[in-house]
Chain A
């Protein structure tokens, strides 16, 4: 049997909510190769984050399991670093110290003090944050914070980099910059990445495969769409590329035709994690921009920008 790099087999999970059982995931199967970039996309409450948290080891699957390089995942660890949506930097540590906290933990035996210092600075250079080593997170912008969050994860040299809506809380222009940075770093380091996103363009632009999830409860993987666009990818050139437009179309069709958005009636039963409108897919406004007009400013998401400010 040939060994897969990351193997998610028959994963399902049940949550206990006030005594009643709620099945969030059922029979999720996914294999990833080394160096592959996969996006998980789906409506709110479909369990994308749950899949990622199971791979991270933050949740334990009720049945099935995750095997990474031949070893089963049982607990969280730095080999599966997670970039959280809200950067999650320690506000009391400087940019340097935030990354150093991870580096000192992961390499406390294998690297000398000087090597660790160089490694922290190297990773901050990768994300273009070497100018702000001594700044506190409160003193830099949301995009910069997320850059530091990514540097912290890269510095752990994870076998899989897990990203939970990493750019969801950023404005469209910052988001584009970070996507470009991520593509560059990805080309350089060849990380294996699993990213959750709400943004159809982002999924097509960054991924090797897009994993589309059906709606919950008992959500599972609906379709997997391979993205065969050659790298490096250029967002401007791709915007008019018929293959790109077609891929987008396919994702949108899955999301809106095959898996219509969850109805408010179902939300109110507590099945979905957020009410309609709290969190929404970005694709609708982009349909306009696909006609050639380069103004893909998405509608403001008050909840998101609020959490960024905090």
Chain B
């Protein structure tokens, strides 16, 4: 029986491949989105050329593409400069040590302006840290709320109260608290970085918390009864029954959280002056050169693209973790 199964697999795969290559499917997967993007590009170009701002004409797709390339080249140049700096420093110190082995040499970090690509990575790091902090609290509290209606009743008013609060309202408070409590020599994290990460965490706590609660509370009664009959300990119950059952809802929450966090981050970075995409946008706005609008537009598109990729990443992770491989995820 296993032989037939093995033999059947390649055929299935081939058929699935052919299925994907059918003209109707190709049209759906490639042609239709391409038409959408093309139409949008035309509309953009058409309307951009009619908008005159104090910084010149509103950038169309072509100008934005040029800015994107410019930003890429800047990054390459900055890297070369940094490499040259470190090379010079090494040579200098080596010379110094050769002359006098006892000499104290200084190693300095290159302090050039962060490029656009550096900013993207800083933003990604910030949102990741904020997201992790949030879920460290949100998932366990959500599980507790789902398991016990008492805990839920105690926590729910707080959720309802804090859920709608904008990150911009939290930021000044977070900033003051961080600068009051986080004062160590040679800090591991920049204060501005912590400010934005914590603000992100405060805002992306809620979707995971609420969805986890709902997911845990709506576990099939029969499964809970089976667990009671087996007299499973609370920890085993949570590990073997509650978490697997609630995984789809937890992931729904996580995806919403990450999307919220990414959205909030840009605003937080603008205000906190944390190096990142938000600061990039703000600096370009303040800068006011003829390239600024094009560069901001690049940032807008990159923000969108990164958000989209983050969501895809979570979806892939969910596929990996979820037990139900047949479930349709979108």
Could you tell me if A81 and B324 are in contact, using CB atoms closer than 8 angstroms?
Answer: no
Question: From B244, which residue of chain A is reached at the shortest CB distance?
Answer: A92
Identify whether the interface residues of B are mostly helix, strand, loop, or mixed. Answer: helix
Number of A-B residue pairs having CB atoms within 8 Å of each other in the complex: 55
Could you tell me if B240 and A93 are in contact, using CB atoms closer than 8 angstroms?
Answer: yes
Residue B62, interface by CB 8 Å? no
Question: From B223, which residue of chain A is reached at the shortest CB distance?
Answer: A88
Bitwise, A55-84 to B at CB < 8 A (1) or not (0) is 011100000000000000001111011101
Could you tell me if B222 and A84 are in contact, using CB atoms closer than 8 angstroms?
Answer: yes
Q: For the side of the interface on B, what is the size category? A: 10 to 19
Could you tell me if B229 and A90 are in contact, using CB atoms closer than 8 angstroms?
Answer: no
Q: How far is the CA of A246 from the CA of B329 in the complex (A)?
A: 56
A105-B232 contact, Cβ under 8 Å, with A88-B222, A92-B323? yes
Contacts of A90 in B (CB 8 A): 223, 226, 240-241, 244
- Please provide the chain A residues from 1 to 16 with a CB less than 8 Å away from any CB of chain B in the complex: none
Q: How far is the CA of A56 from the CA of B225 in the complex (A)?
A: 10
Residue B230, interface by CB 8 Å? yes
Residue B81, interface by CB 8 Å? no
Could you tell me if B241 and A81 are in contact, using CB atoms closer than 8 angstroms?
Answer: no
Residue A217, interface by CB 8 Å? no
- Please provide the chain B residues from 284 to 316 with a CB less than 8 Å away from any CB of chain A in the complex: none
Query: How distant is A109 from chain B, measured CB to nearest CB, in Å?
Result: 13
Query: How distant is A244 from chain B, measured CB to nearest CB, in Å?
Result: 34
Q: How far is the CA of A102 from the CA of B226 in the complex (A)?
A: 9
Contacts of B228 in A (CB 8 A): 57-58, 75-76
Could you tell me if B230 and A84 are in contact, using CB atoms closer than 8 angstroms?
Answer: no
Bitwise, A190-213 to B at CB < 8 A (1) or not (0) is 000000000000000000000000
Contacts of A39 in B (CB 8 A): none
Residue B231, interface by CB 8 Å? yes
Residue A26, interface by CB 8 Å? no
Query: How distant is A149 from chain B, measured CB to nearest CB, in Å?
Result: 9
Q: For the side of the interface on A, what is the size category? A: 20 to 34
Contact of B230 among A58, A138, A156 (CB under 8 A): A156
Contacts of A82 in B (CB 8 A): 225-226, 229
- Please provide the chain B residues from 204 to 231 with a CB less than 8 Å away from any CB of chain A in the complex: 220, 222-223, 225-226, 228-231
Query: How distant is B249 from chain A, measured CB to nearest CB, in Å?
Result: 14
Could you tell me if A105 and B236 are in contact, using CB atoms closer than 8 angstroms?
Answer: yes
Contacts of B54 in A (CB 8 A): none
Could you tell me if A91 and B324 are in contact, using CB atoms closer than 8 angstroms?
Answer: yes
Contacts of A281 in B (CB 8 A): none
Residue B326, interface by CB 8 Å? yes
Q: Among the interface residues B230, B236, B324, which one has the most CB atoms of the partner chain A within 10 A?
A: B230
Query: How distant is B129 from chain A, measured CB to nearest CB, in Å?
Result: 30
Could you tell me if B229 and A101 are in contact, using CB atoms closer than 8 angstroms?
Answer: no
Could you tell me if A105 and B230 are in contact, using CB atoms closer than 8 angstroms?
Answer: yes
Question: From B231, which residue of chain A is reached at the shortest CB distance?
Answer: A77
Question: From B322, which residue of chain A is reached at the shortest CB distance?
Answer: A92
Residue A106, interface by CB 8 Å? yes
Contacts of A84 in B (CB 8 A): 222, 225-226
Q: How far is the CA of A138 from the CA of B228 in the complex (A)?
A: 23
- Please provide the chain A residues from 242 to 299 with a CB less than 8 Å away from any CB of chain B in the complex: none
22 A-B pairs whose Cβ atoms sit less than 8 Å apart in the complex:
A56-B229, A57-B228, A58-B225, A58-B228, A75-B228, A76-B229, A76-B231, A78-B230, A80-B229, A82-B225, A82-B226, A82-B229, A84-B222, A86-B222, A88-B220, A88-B222, A88-B225, A93-B244, A101-B230, A105-B230, A106-B230, A138-B326
Q: Hey, which bits of chain A sit against chain B, CB under 8 A?
A: 56-58, 75-78, 80-82, 84, 86, 88, 90-93, 101-102, 105-106, 136, 138, 156
For the complex with contacts A84-B226, A90-B223, 17 further pairs of A-B residues with Cβ separation under 8 Å are A56-B229, A58-B225, A76-B225, A76-B228, A76-B231, A84-B222, A88-B223, A88-B225, A90-B240, A90-B241, A91-B323, A91-B324, A92-B245, A101-B232, A105-B230, A136-B323, A156-B230
